[in-house]
Chain A
Amino acid sequence: GAVVSQHPSWVICKSGTSVKIECRSLDFQATTMFWYRQFPKQSLMLMATSNEGSKATYEQGVEKDKFLINHASLTLSTLTVTSAHPEDSSFYICSAAKTSGGLSYEQYFGPGTRLTVT
């Protein structure tokens, strides 16, 4: 199988605080993980690519100092939303890339984290 867990599944925090979200690949090693956010009835918006042992690559318009990503091992990536504000409230989803042979990769997604900033 290819199972990815995400913790917490939901979190409520006060404006100005920081929140850490963990993404773990449980039964395979993932050199690359991805972080997305998704607004209601909209598609996935890629925020950043997390590479084990190196700095994350952020998509245009995503503040790297606000969304800190750490990929310290082949099975764990974390996303920290720093100084969260109500506009950061969203559904955050991680995925881990697993090669299906050659240069093709399938993405296995975590169940998502619902962040609400009050």
Chain B
Amino acid sequence: SQKIEQNSEALNIQEGKTATLTCNYTNYSPAYLQWYRQDPGRGPVFLLLIRENEKEKRKERLKVTFDTTLKQSLFHITASQPADSATYLCALSLDTNAGKSTFGDGTTLTVKP
């Protein structure tokens, strides 16, 4: 069955450092992958989408990579700030599903000042 694993439930880093979150999947061939941010008691917020034929996507301090051979996506936040503290979710989708996605359990990032 399809399985999505996000590295360690929690990640703690120092302000100013680069946070790297991992999303690994098995038994799945997604057409595209998304990353979302979720704060406690709130709905997730869309951050970035990357397709299978794209290696890397950037948006301000965010960078996403997608390696279909390794079946892995990396999500980087450079120059991290305490305001970046949140839970980050990866989601995998097929082109045939009209937006339906399978979500990972998330990684909770804490950036300490």
Contacts and interface: CB of A to CB of B under 8 A. Distances in A.
| A and B are interacting partners | yes
A23 B3 CA distance: 29
B49 A109 contact: no
B46 A106 contact: yes
Interface residues of A, number: 29
Interface of A, helix, strand, loop or mixed by DSSP: strand
A49 B44 contact: no
Interface residues of B, number: 25
Contacts, number: 68
A49 B46 contact: no
Interface string B1-44: 00000000000000000000000000000011010100001111
A34 B99 CA distance: 9
Interface stretch (A69-77, A78-86, A97-105): A97-105
A110 B41 CA distance: 11
Interface of A: 2, 4, 6, 31-32, 34, 42-44, 46, 49, 91, 93, 95, 97-100, 103-112, 114
Interface of B: 31-32, 34, 36, 41-46, 49, 51, 89, 91, 93, 95-96, 98-101, 103-106
